Structure 1
Amino acid sequence: MTQSQLAAALGCSRAAVSTWETTGRLPRPERLQLLAHVLGVPVAELIEDGESLSLVSLRLTAGLLAKDVARTLKVSSSTYCHVERGRQRVPPRWFPILSRTFGVPAELFGSLREQSPATNTDGGA
């Protein structure tokens, strides 16, 4: 499939598709879901960061700051940042809220819940 064909299927410009390919940036959540459908792959495959799904990638894709997500979850920014950096597990009660916020299926957060805080040793996410 060419960039032009994919752009037509997604209702966006060829330049947008080119940007995603060359920079690794992801489209907005609603377009990301359509992209996964058009390509016939799960959304998780498009947004995986290394071995595991990244809250940072999802947040950046949604164009949100950590404090915005924390406000949506009704927790402190530091609490959200601890979870985003892998210092704490993602609480299952957050799954539906994060799903709506990021526009992805709640099931994607299961891999985050199982990720050990020690897995993320680079100090950032």
Structure 2
Amino acid sequence: MIIQDKIKYTDELSNSITYLENLGYSNIKADLEGYESPKSYHKKGSKISVTPDIVAEKEGRKHIFDLSLKSEKPRLLKSKWLFLSTLSKIKSYRFRLITTRGHYKFSNETIDAINLDNIKLLKI
């Protein structure tokens, strides 16, 4: 999810964190009040920064999660997902998208548009 959508979808973010805790993820960092914020990545020479929505660990492996919800700026969302996917491949992390009912079609169309076939969707 992008910065403009964070206020709109805070409930979905907290539900996703609860879901991940129930699945056994630990050391959860989230871009939400009450949790430690995950590491941000800044683009050199500009004011653009990318912060994953949720970062958690399970079985000694780091997982990056991003919420896949309908957005006003899908192009910005696509570039964020491409960056996080590339980062996770370089650092041997796992990258997953979390989506909820009513957002499945948007998620699948966006994934197909940027050719991220190896991304798994967690449907809550």
**Shorter-chain TM-score: which interval?**
under 0.3
Higher strand share: 2
Give me the TM-score of the superposition, normalised by structure 1: 0.28
Give me the TM-score of the superposition, normalised by structure 2: 0.28
Higher helix share: 1
